[in-house]
Structure formats: C-alpha cells, structure tokens
Amino acid sequence: MSVTDIAAASLTDSIRTVRGTEPLVQSLTNTVTINDVANVILHWGGLPVMADSPGDAGEMAALSSALLINTGQIPEDRVEAMHEAGRNANERDIPVILDPVGVGSTPSREAVAESLLSEIEFTAIKGNYGEIAALTGVEAEVKGVESVGDYEDIERTASSLAESTDALVVASGVDDVVADADGAVRLAAGHEMLGEVVGTGCMLGATVATFCAALENPHEAAVHGTLAFGLAGERAGEMDHTGPGSYRTNFRDAVADMTADTAAEFDLEDQLEPVL
C-alpha cells in the first residue's frame, strides 16, 4: 500500500481506534516542549510516558506501543538513551518515530541524526521542510529549529528520503506532505496560527507516534495522524482567541474534542491530494 491509497473517509475509523486502544507512547523529547508532547498524546487518547535517562528509557520503550525520539536537545546521556530505547523497540517490532529537530543547523545535530538513522529502523520521520531536505542532502536553510527558504520540490525530496530510509516521511509546512518511496500526498489542513506557537512541530511528531502506536497500518497512521492534527488546528482557529496564547489553549481543547464524530463533520474531499 502507498500513502496515495489512503482514503480520507477512513479517518473516522482511525481516530476511533486510537481512542479505543489507549496506547502507551514513550517519548524522548526536549524540555521546551515535554509538557505539550505529553498532553497531546493524552488528548488523542494515548498514555504518555517521558522516561529519557539511560536504562529507564530502554526499559520503558520495551513496554510501549510506540517510541518517539525528538532531537531538540542532545546532551550525551540523552543521545545514549535514544539509541538504547530505539534498539529495544526495534528488537520488539515497536514503531519508532524520529523528529530530527534542528538538523541542518549545526554539525552536532547532523551527527546525532546520522547516528540514529544508521543504527535504528524508523517507521516514520517527521520534520519541517528544511529538516527533511537536510536529511536528504538537499540544500536547506534551518535557523535554530525553524525552516526558512523555499522548497518547491519538497514532495520528491520527502519521497527520496523515504526510499533511502525505508520510513514514511512527514514534511510539515504551509501544507503538510506525507510520502513513501512510491508517492506523496499533500494535506491542505491546518491554520496559520500553528506557526505562531512554539512546539506544534513536536506535537505533530507526538501525534504521528500515537497513531502509529494504535494502528496496524503505518501508512494510515502517518496520513491520518497528520490530517487529524491539521483539522484540530482548523477547529482551534474557529474558537475565540486573541493571540498565540489563547490559540494554544484552543488547540489542545480541539485535539481532545477530535472524536470520530467530530472528524466526520469535515468535508475532506479537497484536503488530501496525491501529488506524486
């Protein structure tokens, strides 16, 4: 199955399964967004656990339904824990999701990402346009952890990374792109205020991990997790807000309220477009 075969109509089934499964999602993430990541997993219906020290991280990963590795901060002991948890998850066929935060901005971050990709098998890789381009070796401009510049060929870039890593790739931007080695889809869902709140990229990675934890088909998990996240962003924009702070609260409420019935209210015909 390719990502281009995923039907938007089955989004409701995916959300219902995630909420009915209540999967345990282990996350090694950065301290800037750890609370947001934990809460978004919980609001989707998952159970978050944030063990990130050597020993504990690997033991917890072995008990989880999915593992999220976020490289927003890379002290030596945390990187050691990332590798340990990733190996344990691979040994037990537990989905592992990589969020290579800031890769392309410093040699240290590039080295960590390369070491993880060389030693761990990832089910999905979620990054912004610049991070995905940097992992593929395409010229990219990343300032700190933010993607800047133009990425007109991001669909083919994402598909190329999927082919070289054998992972599904989620490239987040104005429109999100989900790709595998055979094709890509563009998701026209979301809200401009998502870009005004620190941590929404990390929360998207956590969302993909939660859906991967609950759904047997990783293609459905990547597409439907990304689509559901965007729809929650749209719903948050419809609620009263006066700026990024109130929008952030609205977004968390919108995720918690995104049930199968809520998702069925959206007209998805034009929001899921195969582009490769």
pLDDT digits (tens), the chain, 276 positions: 678 788 777 999 999 999 999 999 999 999 999 999 999 999 999 999 999 999 999 999 999 999 999 999 999 999 999 999 999 999 999 999 999 998 988 999 999 999 999 999 999 999 999 999 999 987 555 544 444 445 678 999 999 999 999 999 999 988 999 999 999 999 989 899 999 999 999 999 999 999 999 999 999 999 999 999 999 999 999 999 999 999 999 999 999 999 999 998 888 877 888 887
pTM: 0.94
CA distances from 53 to 69, 75, 178, 202 (A): 13, 11, 31, 19
pLDDT of residue 5: 83
pLDDT of residue 143: 46
- Tokens read off for 163: 């082919």
pLDDT of residue 144: 45
- Domain extent, residue 190, equals 3-274
Place of tokens 């582009």: 275
Most distant pair of Cα atoms in the chain: their distance:
48
Handedness of CA 177, 160, 25, 73 (dihedral sign): negative
Residue 50 assigned ligand-binding role = yes
Return the CATH number at 25: 3.40.1190.20
3-state SS assignment for residue 213: helix
Q: What is the tally of structural domains in the chain? A: 1
Residue 199 assigned ligand-binding role = yes
pLDDT of residue 155: 93
**C-alpha to C-alpha distance for 167 and 162, rounded to whole angstroms:** 5
Q: What share of the chain is helix, strand, coil (3-state, %, to 5)?
A: 50, 15, 30
pLDDT of residue 1: 67
Residue 143 assigned ligand-binding role = no
Listed in order, strand segments (DSSP E) in 53-140 are 66-70, 96-99, 124-128
Residue 2 assigned ligand-binding role = no
